[in-house]
Amino acid sequence: MNRKGDKKGNITAAFGSDITLGGMTAVPNLLLKFYSKLGITDREMMLIMQLIYMHTSAGVMFPTHKELADIMSGDESEIRGCLASLIEKEIISISHYYCEVSDEILPVYSLEPLFEKVSEFWACEKVSVYQKMKKNLKEQEDNSKNSKSHQKVFAYVCKAFEKEFARLLSPMEIEQINLWVNDFNGNPELILEALKRAVMLGKHNFKYIDIILLEWHKNNLNTISDVLAFEANFRERQSNRGIRRNKSQLPPVNKKDKFRLLYLG
């Protein structure tokens, strides 16, 4: 009983010793990552791995078709076809090296073309990642600048309203101003113009200002010059209508009427 246990233990120890001392074949992760993009089939990839094994572990630089077939599934003709395909795709090449031991120039399956191609994919990926990172950093920087700019304009407009209204603004009024600043892309020009017109008419309320800004926004008026041009065009149209009708029936336009021109039919 003990002898059997000892024998089993010796076999296990021998296997452990062999699997450790026998070494391992390292396959680059980048190769595993990019081989399909290089047009290498799974079968060809296994052949490349066996070539790496033969080179590094067995010291065989130019294994025969039979030697490769012995450690792979498939016959020699299939191995020959895979090697020819890899050479045609310029994945591997046959080169020569000088062996000092035998004083001979011997052939070798070179993997340099393979790793050159892998390095190109690696470089392209690095460039792509760098460009994406640079783009994201720029977007974050722009967003940060826009946010700071928005906050600066927002605070400026709030102070202008508090000064004209002679009081502090309510949370709802502050939120309304924030919406206006967003609607006009951070440009306070028209918001302050609407405020000025409302104050001149004694309309110290947000609803009246919102009506003015909505009308300007609806008519795609983005600057004071746009507003003045729109009003001038409106007056001209009203004048032309008056000529076609009885002009004497129209009430005279007083100073306050010019602030209502945008809201007439």
Rounded Cα gap, residues 77 and 83, in angstroms: 10
SS3 (DSSP) at 148: helix
Residue in 217, 220, 219, 215 with CA at minimum distance from that of residue 260: 215
**CATH architecture type of domain 151-263:** Orthogonal Bundle (1.10)
Asked whether 111 and 52 are in contact (CB, 8 A), the reply is yes
Dist CA 101 CA 63 (whole Å): 18
pLDDT tens digits, 191-203 = 999 999 999 988 8
For the chain, give the percent of residues with pLDDT over 70. Answer: 88
Does the structure show a pLDDT above 50 at 107?
A: yes
Torsions phi, psi of 109, nearest 5?
-80, 110
Which of the following CATH numbers is that of domain 2-110: 3.20.190.10, 1.10.10.10, 3.40.50.300, 3.40.1390.10? 1.10.10.10
Query: In what helix (H) or strand (E) does residue 98 lie, and over which residues does it extend?
Result: strand 93-99
Tell me, yes or no, if the two domains 2-110 and 151-263 fold the same way. Answer: yes
10-52 pLDDT, tens digit each: 888 788 777 777 778 889 999 999 999 999 999 999 999 999 9
Q: Is the pLDDT of residue 227 over 70?
A: yes
Residue environment code for 58-83, b if the CB has 16+ CB neighbours within 10 A, otherwise e:
eebbbbebebbbeebeeeeebbeebb
Domain boundaries, the chain: 2-110, 151-263
For residue 91, pLDDT beyond 60: yes
Once rounded to an integer, what is the mean pLDDT over residues 183-195? 87
